Amino acid sequence: MKPLFQRQCEALVAALTKAKAVDGARLSMSSWVSSLHSCGTAACVCGYQALTEDLSLFDVAAEYAGDYESVATNISEDLENSCHQLFGYTYLAASIYAGTDKSRIYFALNAMVADKETLETFKHLTSENPSLDDAITYIEFVIEKCREEAA
């Protein structure tokens, strides 16, 4: 069976792919749901997952249903837990959703899954406002690292 962290990352890719179908969608929850706060950062990766309401792979308390901010926070915490189970650290999870490019690249470098030059090719890690495609590309890279770790 695939590691939980890998399956969660695959769910994130599916949620972001669904979000791309919305005209004008970008990595900002306000482009998908107008009533929510728009931080315009990669932290919205967890928010998009919360909005799908497909939380079967995430440990989210039932009392948070409909409270997307709390659900997104729970998703980020659960990503860290499952990442720690697979890799022994949480850096790789944080590199997916950290709110600034400096934080995302910092966490990716500390995960030591690739050299600096390779990591700097991912716009998700180096752009303050990465696109949905940038996030998907980087998360697919993380999924490959999960496969390697589980092998």
10-32: per-residue pLDDT in tens?
A: 999 998 888 877 756 555 555 44
Return contacts of 80-88, CB within 8 angstroms, 24+ apart: 82/3, 82/4, 82/5, 82/8, 83/5, 85/3, 85/4, 85/5, 86/3, 86/4, 86/5, 86/6, 86/146, 86/149, 86/150, 87/5, 87/111, 87/149
Q: What is the pLDDT of residue 30?
A: 54
**What type of residue is 87?**
F
Give percent of the chain above pLDDT 70. 86
Q: What is the mean pLDDT of the chain?
A: 85
**What type of residue is 25?**
A
32-83: per-residue pLDDT in tens?
A: 444 544 454 455 788 778 777 788 898 887 777 777 778 888 889 999 999 9
Q: What is the pLDDT of residue 29?
A: 52
d(CA 22, CA 2): 30
Give the confidence band of 149 by pLDDT, cuts at 50, 70, 90: very high
